[in-house]
Chain A
Amino acid sequence: MLLRLPTSLHYPITVTSLLKQAGDKVERDEAIFWYIYQTTVEEGDGLGNKVQVKRKFPTRFESSVDGEILEWKISKGDVIEGPLDVVEIDEPCAHEVQFGGLCAECGKDMTEATYNTEVMDSMRAPIQMTHDNTTLTVSEKEATRVEEDAKRRLLASRRLSLVVDLDQTIIHATVDPTVGEWKEDKNNANYGALRDVRQFQLIDDGPGMRGCWYYIKLRPGLEEFLEKVAELYELHIYTMGTRAYAQNIADIIDPTRKLFGDRILSRDESGSLTAKNLQRLFPVDTKMVVIIDDRGDVWRWSPNLIKVSPYDFFVGIGDINSSFLPKKQDIGATNKLIKAAKEKESKDHHPNGTVAKPESETEVSALQQLVTMGGGDNPRLLHEQTNEQEETILHQVEDRPLLQKQKELDAEDEASPESSESPSVEESQESNKHRHHLLEDHDRELFQLQDRLEKVHLQFFDEYDRRRSHAIGGRVAALRGEKTLSKDKDVDLKLVPDIKDIMPMFKRGVLGGVVLVFSGVLPLGTDTQNADISLWAKSFGVAIASKINGRTTHLVAGRNRTAKVREATRYPNVKIVSTQWLLDCLVSWQHLDEDPYLLHIHDDDRAEPLSPNSRELVESSWISSSDEATGASLWTDEEGNGNDPEIFNSAGLTETSHIGYDEDEQAAVHDELKDFLGSDDESESDNEVLGDETNTSGKKRKRGEDVDSETGEDSAEDDDDENDQKGSRLSQRIKRSYERSTGLREVATASSSEMGETRPEHVRPSGPHEDEPDAENVGTSHDNDEGFPENPDDDDDEFEREMLAAFEDDFDDNAEGDDMADE
């Protein structure tokens, strides 16, 4: 270890003698060299006066570590001006693994501090990396080593790591004792569904919850899923439940511990009660880790995450361990319930099949209640939340929401007017059957999930193999060198692709090009861009817009009679689909056919569709089909050779446009451009005396700037206001425009240097007469600009930019004047 001088010394210092030679042993706090420093002190001069005197003081420097001196970096007589490395000391133990404040290798106390301690020894091993123990910490080096070993091993067996959440992902748990009763009662309607519900009792689970029974329903197909997936992935459990809870679940889902081993991390060891952190398990890198969880927010939408739809078997219970988590923005589950209810409705051959409907409503409201109750309003008030969770559990134990619901259901069944005396037996049986549905079990998520995991696995190793075959060709020698070092001969860690690149890439293709507008899905006032469902959708390449326009491809509507639905009916290319479509797409990683999900549109709402030859339609379809071409051609236009007939076409078309994001934006942009040109015209009239060259170059220069500012505007607007542009397209455009602008600058400089040749070309458009049509071309194409009142901010910006432009114009003029003089 290199020993570095602390900043606290009184620099400059002069080394007077070294007390130890290379090879000598030093102990902690042992002096290793003498030095002198100079400082001013106040002294009495013997006459009662105080004088400031400069004095030199000799001092010893003490080592802060044990070990053997390898090499001195300083020598006698050196004057040291600031902190630097003085000596290299070989430590017998680097304290890389520490256990409860002790070095696990030498047994020394790591927490003791002396006056000489700069950095606590315990800080040398700051990383917790074992699942079930928080007292063991390791240094970064050790963590890397362990992780690399693990990665080699995984690569050799061609597996990845998979972090699995428990609650609502692979199981659903409740403490409602009703479940136990129903389970015992063979005649109960829900008996069939509850047959495979497991239970366990947690004894010491905090006060008030003594001996509480937990009922665990495994997600259908779980056993097979885990077995299959375990061949491709090394499984880890990461749950927000307590340790005891996690252990018990693990006993149920993996009694032999073949799948999970002891790789279980619970909230007791997580370190945070509100968020899950992949670094807790994989401190060095997460290249080979995939997460499955039903909540994206707790992982901060990590790119490693595969979000699954929550498993909601015990209707209305939610996640019993979610009290600590921030409140869930639960859209999926609610809608799912409604859908399930609808399914029931359609499946039911029951005479009074309408019963299902009120049921679904009670379900939903109860769910919301529970979610609110269990959600926790302030994640910081930990204590309160602990109470809250206890309360939630107690509530469940006492109130028995399931029983309540069943009762409601029964009451409704009885109250139904059709139930006469004679079919009542049959009726009750049927309602029994119907009640059976309260706890229904047709979840297919795991099968789809297995597919997805297999896909990801395949992609990852395809990429890995590809890289490896590449590498072997070029770097055989290097590989050989490494081979002798690495334990596993076939593995080269540098070639491991990153799952964080592979999975998002894979996902983004799924719904790429889809521009969504939500309607009646998110509560008013929610940030449409950052709601859970939006974030989730965005990870699949979806762009989310707030308004319907020509680029919109889908309207996701929660209800079928909203203003937006009405508006969307005017666009034949906008598909109006239910939320379920989006959810199913996100869950199955496929762009599903919209037809089964199309919303039934009330006839009154059907606005007059745009006729095929109406200008709006032509324009909107034109936009969506070739808008990249527009972008490109428009930019070309601004480059100064705007004679492309297509541009005029487009200009003519866009002239009449009322809607369309592109038009808006480009209109604004061109408005600005027009302003600039106008101001330019004015300045031109002022400058005309100076000669054509000046004007030309000034103008040229300005154009370059216009494009610049537009680019800025462009991207800003895209990000802030509209955002309905597809990310890749946007970036392409920005990139393109940057290229253009830089190109322009070159042109501008070139034009100024090759004044003579360029003059005739440039003179023409810059002259007051020729300039007008040019400006019009651009300007008139967006005559409707006036229809879009501009932001005051924009005005300010514009003004500022104008000033700047004018300033630079002047500057350029002068420069040009000089140039002219030279000529």
Chain B
Amino acid sequence: MFFLKEETKVISLHPSFFGPNMREYLITRLNEEEEGRCTGDHFVICVMDMVDIGEGRVIPSSGNAEYTIKYRAIIWKPFRGETVDAIVTSVKPTGIFTLAGPLSVFIARKNIPGDIKWEPNTVPPQYTDHADQVIEKGTSLRLKILGVKPDVAAINAIGTIKEDYLG
């Protein structure tokens, strides 16, 4: 689910960047460092705007300036039960690996409808029901998240396509 969240971040700036373009530079730094980051709990999708840059504080002994920036960002926190669209990255006899944006979701064989079978002899290998449904690398899938496990810098999730309106 997507949220608009206000967060703070401390950016330390080298004295060589002090000058009229400091603000732009801070924005670039913030975008670079935050966008696409995974905290282990959620993904930061996009920094919307800066609420408050705050006053820079020069750190004694190093000369760097520290800015405590408050900003708003769109974040995505995947939940159990959420339905997402994903793209298949690889298919294995044990299941299907997909990517829903930054989140890697694995669909086990048990969570694939029974009529869609593993077919290793085709190139590339695929899951198919020998009719019009073919799941291979690059296919788009709609899946439901069964479980989410936060890790240090990544989130792993389990999905299913064995329900109505999924696949």
Closest to B157 in A: A102
A residues less than 8 Å from B154 (CB atoms): 100
Residues of B bordering A, CB below 8 Å: 80, 90, 92-95, 97, 104, 106-111, 118, 120-121, 123-125, 137, 145-149, 151, 154, 156-158
Q: Contact check, A102 vs B156: say whether CB atoms are below 8 A apart.
A: yes
Q: Contact check, A142 vs B94: say whether CB atoms are below 8 A apart.
A: yes
Could you list 9 further interchain pairs (A-B, Cβ under 8 angstroms) beyond the known A99-B158, A146-B93, A150-B120?
A: A97-B109, A99-B106, A100-B104, A107-B158, A130-B92, A133-B90, A142-B94, A150-B93, A261-B123
Q: Contact check, A153 vs B120: say whether CB atoms are below 8 A apart.
A: yes
Q: How far is the CA of A99 from the CA of B95 in the complex (A)?
A: 10
Q: Contact check, B94 vs A102: say whether CB atoms are below 8 A apart.
A: no
Q: Contact check, B124 vs A261: say whether CB atoms are below 8 A apart.
A: yes
A residues less than 8 Å from B145 (CB atoms): 107
A339 CB-CB contact with B under 8 Å: no
* B90 touches which of A99, A105, A150, A262 (Cβ 8 Å): A262
Q: Contact check, A256 vs B123: say whether CB atoms are below 8 A apart.
A: yes
B residues less than 8 Å from A258 (CB atoms): 123
Q: Contact check, A99 vs B123: say whether CB atoms are below 8 A apart.
A: no
Closest to B91 in A: A262
Total A residues in contact with B, Cβ cutoff 8 Å: 31
Report if A105-B149 is in contact (Cβ < 8 Å); known contacts: A133-B97, A149-B93, A153-B120: no
Q: How far is the CA of A248 from the CA of B154 in the complex (A)?
A: 25
Closest to A135 in B: B156
A109 CB-CB contact with B under 8 Å: yes
Shortest Cβ distance from residue A158 to the other chain B in the assembled complex, whole angstroms: 13
Residues of A bordering B, CB below 8 Å: 97, 99-109, 111, 129-130, 132-133, 135-136, 138, 142, 146, 149-150, 153, 157, 256-258, 261-262
Shortest Cβ distance from residue B146 to the other chain A in the assembled complex, whole angstroms: 3
Which 7 pairs of residues, A with B, have the shortest CB-CB distance?
A107-B147, A100-B156, A107-B146, A104-B108, A99-B106, A107-B158, A102-B149
Interface SS majority for chain B:
strand
Q: How far is the CA of A101 from the CA of B121 in the complex (A)?
A: 31
Q: Which of A104, A153, A261 has the most CB of B within 10 A?
A: A104
Shortest Cβ distance from residue B34 to the other chain A in the assembled complex, whole angstroms: 20
* A132 touches which of B90, B120, B121, B158 (Cβ 8 Å): B90
B residues less than 8 Å from A102 (CB atoms): 147-149, 156-158
Closest to A157 in B: B121
A residues less than 8 Å from B94 (CB atoms): 97, 104, 129-130, 136, 138, 142, 146
B residues less than 8 Å from A99 (CB atoms): 106, 108, 156, 158
Q: How far is the CA of A133 from the CA of B137 in the complex (A)?
A: 15
Q: Contact check, A106 vs B125: say whether CB atoms are below 8 A apart.
A: no
B residues less than 8 Å from A108 (CB atoms): 147
B residues less than 8 Å from A103 (CB atoms): 147, 158
Q: How far is the CA of A261 from the CA of B126 in the complex (A)?
A: 11
Q: How far is the CA of A378 from the CA of B138 in the complex (A)?
A: 43
Closest to A256 in B: B123
Q: Contact check, A101 vs B124: say whether CB atoms are below 8 A apart.
A: no
* B146 touches which of A106, A111, A146, A153 (Cβ 8 Å): A106
Q: How far is the CA of A104 from the CA of B156 in the complex (A)?
A: 10
A residues less than 8 Å from B106 (CB atoms): 99-100, 104, 136
* A109 touches which of B120, B123, B147 (Cβ 8 Å): B147
A residues less than 8 Å from B125 (CB atoms): 261
A residues less than 8 Å from B93 (CB atoms): 146, 149-150
Closest to B146 in A: A107
